[in-house]
Amino acid sequence: MQRYWYHRTVKGHELRGGQKEPRLLSLLDCSGHFKLNILANPEAIVLNPVPQLSIPINNHFHLVREAEEALLIDISNNTTVRIRLRGEQTPELLLELQDDVHTQSFLQHAMKAKQQAESSQPRKIEPVVPVPVKVYVPIPPQRGTSKSTSNNLSYSNVAKPLNTDSALLDFALEENFNHCLKVEEKKNHQNRTVAQREPPPPPVPPLPPRKAPNTPSTNLTAAPAKERPPPTQNTTPVRNEYQSVDRPVAWTDSPSNHTMRAMMSSQGSSREGLLKYHLNKKEKEYVDIKNFKLFMGTWNVNGQPPDSSLEPWLCCVQDPPDVYALGFQELDLSTEAFFYMDSSKEQLWVDAIERNLHPKAKYIQMRIIRLVGMMLVVYVNKQHKNHIREVAAESVGTGLMNKMGNKGGVAVRFVFHNTSFCFVNSHLAAHVEDFERRNQDYKDICARMSFHLLDHPRLSIVKHDVVIWLGDLNYRLCLPDAGEVKRLIAVNELRRLQEYDQLNIQRKNKRTFTDFIEGEINFLPTYKYDAKSDRWDSSGKCRVPAWCDRILWRGSNIKQLHYRSHMELKTSDHKPVSSLFSIGVKMVNEQRYKRVFEEIVRDMDRLENDFLPSLSLSRREFTFENIKFRQLQRQSFLITNDGQVPCTFAFIPKLNDSQYCKPWLRAEPCDGILDPDESIEIVFEVYVSKDSVTLLNSGEDKIEDILVLHLDRGKDYFITVSGNYLASCFGTSLETLCRMKKPIREIPVTKLIDLEKSNMNFLLDNTGTEDKPLKIPKEIWLLVNHLYTKACQQEDLFQTPGLQDELQSIIDCLDTSIPDSIPGCNHSVAEALLIFLEALPEPVLCYELYQRCLDCSNDSRLCKQLISQLPRAHRNVFRYLLAFLRELLKHSIDNNLNVNLLASLFASLLIRPPPNLAGKQTPSDRVKSSDFILGFLMGGDEE
């Protein structure tokens, strides 16, 4: 009998007869043979799944994606995507999935399985990246096509998920971990029927409000996440990203003491949500605390492979830990790792870890995730495997444009018994003076990191009982004299040195890690050493020693047993750090739990029969003034339960709409539960991102919307949102910008609309030589000219992100004036240029020429011919940018740029697939795009 393992699973809806039916798609693998199961009941993932359809992946299998607009460096999750499926003896199905990293990974592996079936060479899909990437060396005259078949640049390659067999490295070769989890979830699920008055399984820790709308009484598609800004830096709310909080991150929002305001999931009725809500409020009445030991470790390995035993690090405690969580930074410094997410060193380090885990216990790998050089791997003692559930992993890049993953964080979350854990491994911005960038990276990770679980709200880092944050945080000492620091170390004046530690100073000033705790540091600085030695850095830079590598935590019932470095290991210029914790975990007493459950059910029955829910709203009309591109505005109001029973509320889509609001608007929270006389503040966020700026600039959309607040078993409330939008040169077409001699804010709105609609050579000015359009937009000239005159020798140009306050100042400056100089540092100006190119409604190489760009990427003559056929403004901008990039390469010794890096980065901005091809772009297509740019960087563009 063949045994199939779950390789990938994704949830969606089947579109049929104008209706949406929930479905669960599972890609199954049996020794390299694959099939696609489609389940009619998404909740079946916790049961023994019985497929509605089982489609073999063979020559008769077809999968076509109808995608939205692609992003440039990664793929956004702010839309849904539709796919058409057809198999052998299977009618065509139309399915709608959330367009997020999980769906991208699922579709990629499904297509890989089809390719394997067509080649009749069964083999397993590799868990991280399908094919290793080979470094290609360009030869200018021949423009040879690269052989790379790397993955795309969305940083979604989370490896070995818990619900796949490949994830579970069972050293004792016993039964599959995933199977055990499903059996336990099946037992729990069978106890959930409220009508039988039997208590459901002990609840998981309370969850925060869901980020997608759900009508309590209907099964609607959850709204995809939109591009959102992170929490504020200083006083300016900025950053163009997916997830956000509606106030500065507050770690005191503990799930154990915070009112659970969310509907728990779409799998049950609003009654079940209320049951869980009340159970969580009474959790202390039925849980006991038991201590478990967790070993946390972090090591920046400087791109080196393991060259010695890790036993001194991983086995430094006498008794075996219950959980290991090990974070690595700079696991791989290669180009393949940076751009294509491929790394040959990942498995080398995983093997080294597993050879050196504590010998007195048997461990299984719970989860592993890697983003470029950051890797986090979590192991659990085999005896606890049946008590682990709801495992998820996510990553956030905080590098250039908030997408490049050379800096950022990876995280794993799970529930152990009845306590939720979140482990975060991060690598923050480098350089002594850049502590504000490190603070910003921390805030971005907190704001944008969220976990996606089937039938649960999205979970942010802050919504866990225990959070442990480790990594190369890169905070240095505010002492410039390396000799003085080494002298103080020699006389063991560590406490005095720690007074100059940037992390301690920033925490004291409440600028970062505000509600975290760090143990006393009694070990030597962990950076920087000469490789393979214990000698401090003796290079020309002579780095000042610092405690870059740290472990912090927040939560209750946590005791740190040790916090130390491991000088024995000399592989890297950093020393590894470890910490052992004793953590109190909540364990459910079944008898007390049953009693509490029955009391709640009796009270709910009485109240539901006697009363109907009711709400009062403090405001129903909202007006936002002077909305700008990438500037967040917020307004709030209170809703109060003025009835006699708990009420469930949610913003719901209007008739014929799929989302409850327009893309530039969000309500936080968008649903929840209120007790009688309880109030909650709802915040409306208005944020114009690159996805909505073009329609607003052109007048096709306005800051106007009506939201429907639905009360379960009650009435609907209508709320109006309006405002005035200030046009931006960002998101405006090149042709329109070339016709503008003045800043865009000085152009009447009616003329802006006419310009966007007109295909004629319509000019704003009507006298003399000013009738002639500009050769390139003045905004591009201003940005490039600044970089050309001031930044050619800037270290790590186009590799280091800008400061958000400065980015906003640059945008305002370009929208309102023609400045003599651009405000902000060189890195901020460089990122502003990239954001400008990313926001263009039509890329520099027009959509209609996309396929020709790929086809001619290996022919220099055809490439130049294609550029000559571009519209005038596009052709001029392309040649201007490439001339500037070639100039930058002349200073590569100073700015650390290389031709491959620039080609890959600017290809993703200048050559974008049209919307109908976005989801079909292959790694080979990306390489061809890069090759196209590479030829011009290496050989020029003689007219």
From the list 447, 589, 451, 407, the residue with the least C-alpha distance to 102 is 451
Please state, in angstroms and rounded to a whole number, the distance separating the CA atoms of residues 437 and 466: 26
Kindly report whether the peptide bond that precedes residue 305 is cis, defined as omega within 30 degrees of 0: no
pLDDT at 6: 53
For 142-162, the DSSP string reads T-PPP------S-S----S-T
Do you know the residue count of the chain?
A: 943
pLDDT at 47: 36
Q: Name, in order, each residue with C-beta under 8 angstroms of 935's C-beta and a sequence gap of 6 or more.
A: 138, 140, 143, 857, 860, 863
C-beta of residue 771 within 8 angstroms of C-beta of residue 765: yes
C-beta of residue 632 within 8 angstroms of C-beta of residue 685: yes
From the list 134, 133, 116, 135, the residue with the least C-alpha distance to 124 is 116
Around Cβ 791, how many Cβ atoms within 10 Å?
19
User: Phi and psi for 451 in degrees, rounded to 5?
Assistant: -110, 140
For 638-658, the DSSP string reads EEEE-SSS-EEEEEEPPTT-S
User: Cα dihedral angle (138, 139, 145, 148), rounded to 10 degrees?
Assistant: -30
pLDDT at 229: 55
Chosen CATH of 2-69+79-118 out of 2.30.29.110, 3.30.70.1290, 3.30.590.20, 3.40.50.1010: 2.30.29.110
From the list 365, 465, 361, 364, the residue with the least C-alpha distance to 415 is 465
User: Phi and psi for 377 in degrees, rounded to 5?
Assistant: -130, 135
pLDDT at 342: 66
* 810 alpha-carbon distance from chain centroid: 26
Give the CATH number of domain 773-938: 1.10.555.10
Question: Considering the entire predicted model, what is its pTM?
Answer: 0.68
Kindly report whether the peptide bond that precedes residue 751 is cis, defined as omega within 30 degrees of 0: no
**What share of residues in the chain are helix, strand, coil (percent, to 5)?**
30, 25, 45
Which stretches in the chain have pLDDT values below 50? 1-4, 42-51, 67-78, 121-201, 203-226, 228, 230-268, 759-769
Please state, in angstroms and rounded to a whole number, the distance separating the CA atoms of residues 146 and 143: 9
DSSP annotation of 776 reads: S
Please state, in angstroms and rounded to a whole number, the distance separating the CA atoms of residues 667 and 665: 7
pLDDT at 921: 80
3-state secondary structure of 755: helix
pLDDT at 178: 44
Residue type present at position 124: K
- List Cα–Cα distances, 336 to 81, 130, 865, in angstroms: 28, 13, 31
Please state, in angstroms and rounded to a whole number, the distance separating the CA atoms of residues 367 and 413: 9
Structure tokens that stand for 594 in this block: 């049953």
pLDDT at 37: 83
Give the CATH number of domain 287-590: 3.60.10.10
- List Cα–Cα distances, 328 to 307, 427, 801, 810, in angstroms: 15, 9, 22, 36
DSSP annotation of 256 reads: T
pLDDT in tens, 669-716: 998 999 999 999 999 999 999 999 999 998 899 999 999 999 988 889
pLDDT at 215: 36
Around Cβ 837, how many Cβ atoms within 10 Å?
21
C-beta of residue 182 within 8 angstroms of C-beta of residue 388: no
Q: Name, in order, each residue with C-beta under 8 angstroms of 476's C-beta and a sequence gap of 6 or more.
A: 432, 435, 502, 544, 546, 548
- Per DSSP bridges, beta strands 450-451 and 459-460 are antiparallel
Please state, in angstroms and rounded to a whole number, the distance separating the CA atoms of residues 578 and 566: 8
Please state, in angstroms and rounded to a whole number, the distance separating the CA atoms of residues 512 and 428: 12
Taking phi first (over 0 means left), then psi (-120 to 50 degrees means alpha), and beta for anything else, what does residue 167 get? alpha
User: Phi and psi for 538 in degrees, rounded to 5?
Assistant: -110, 10
- For the chain, what are the domain ranges? 2-69+79-118, 287-590, 615-725, 773-938
Structure tokens that stand for 294 in this block: 């967790």
CATH architecture assigned to 615-725:
Sandwich (2.60)
- List Cα–Cα distances, 41 to 22, 25, 46, 130, in angstroms: 7, 10, 10, 30
From the list 888, 276, 854, the residue with the least C-alpha distance to 593 is 276
